[in-house]
Amino acid sequence: MLKIACIPAYNEEKPIADIIKRSLNYVDRVVVCDDGSNDSTSKNATDAGAIVIKHEKNMGKGAALKSLFDYARNANADVMVTIDGDGQFLPEEMNKLIDPIIEKNFDIVLGNRFQTKKEMPSYRKVGNMMFDKITQLASDLPFNDTQSGYRSYSKNAIQKIKFMTNGFGVDSEILIDAVQKNLKIVEENITVIYNTGGKTSTKDPVSHSVSVLTSLIELIAIRHPLRYLGIPGFILLVIGIVYSFIVISIFNDTRVFSVPSTLVALGSLVVGLMLLLMSAVLFSISRMARRTS
């Protein structure tokens, strides 16, 4: 049975070697995707015993995970564990994520960080709660922590999961895809160290949040276009038609166009029509993608 640990990394030269050495106690090999680092991440990872996949430029966490999933598929791995390269997660807890796959035939095991919620910085609590709720709009996910990067995947999951996101929204997209493919998923509580002595994110909280939020909105629009674009578009179109009659009625009585009513009518008609057209196009694309997946 081949067990591999996969680490997406960007400028993690300080913690990466220690994470790799500790991880090798629980898996057969460690694979690092150096996503365009401009420090010694690749060298330190190689010296610590990892296989390194190098991106020439920074493409995002999703792009790094694509390379790691491709490696796991080609290697015919039985279990793949993803762990961040910043030192927040404990490699010593890998068996918590591996055992349910081997012993109970789960396809995905999610590391649930919320048992240590009291230690979580306030902005992270708010951000994670918001992203979890938005993710549930795209698909009904009955999980406490949809954003955790500490996870394990079975061979079945490795082969079946497909995703397009290059950025930080990838964690949500993977889960949504897994649920739609009826993969068996469970959560296990894990420990998180928020004060590692170094930076635990390559982005500030605002830009990180915007990146995840943008990806989630794209997922929602693509996977449920009729619900989240078509229905609002239809409502706006009806409002536009109603206000158009109001504008015509006022003009017939006064021979003057009501500027506020005219603006509401035109704005609602234009935006409503655009949303309806977008929902129709995205619905067609979504159906084609499902047929070919």
* Cα-Cα end-to-end distance for the chain: 28
Taking residues 241-267, report their average pLDDT. 91
> How high is the pLDDT of residue 28?
98
pLDDT grade for 193, boundaries at 50, 70 and 90: confident
Is 70 exceeded by the pLDDT of residue 205? no
Say what percent of the chain tops pLDDT 90: 58
Pairing of strands 108-112, 29-35: unpaired
Q: Which pTM value belongs to this model? A: 0.70
Q: What is the pLDDT of residues 139-160, one digit of tens each?
A: 566 777 888 899 999 999 999 9
List the domain boundaries for the chain: 3-223, 225-292
Is 90 exceeded by the pLDDT of residue 164? no
Both structure tokens of 186: 């469970």
DSSP single-letter state for residue 229: I
Write down the mean pLDDT value for the chain.
85
Say what percent of the chain tops pLDDT 70: 77
Closest CA to 185 of 122, 104, 241: 104
291 vs 283: CA distance, rounded Å: 12
CA 99 → CA 2, 10, 71, 168, distances in Å? Answer: 13, 29, 22, 27
- 176-185, 197-206, 224-233: which has the minimum mean pLDDT? 197-206
Q: Of the CATH numbers 3.90.550.10, 3.40.50.300, 3.20.20.70, 3.60.10.10, which one belongs to the domain with range 3-223? A: 3.90.550.10
Both structure tokens of 123: 């902005």
> How high is the pLDDT of residue 133?
60
Is 90 exceeded by the pLDDT of residue 132? no
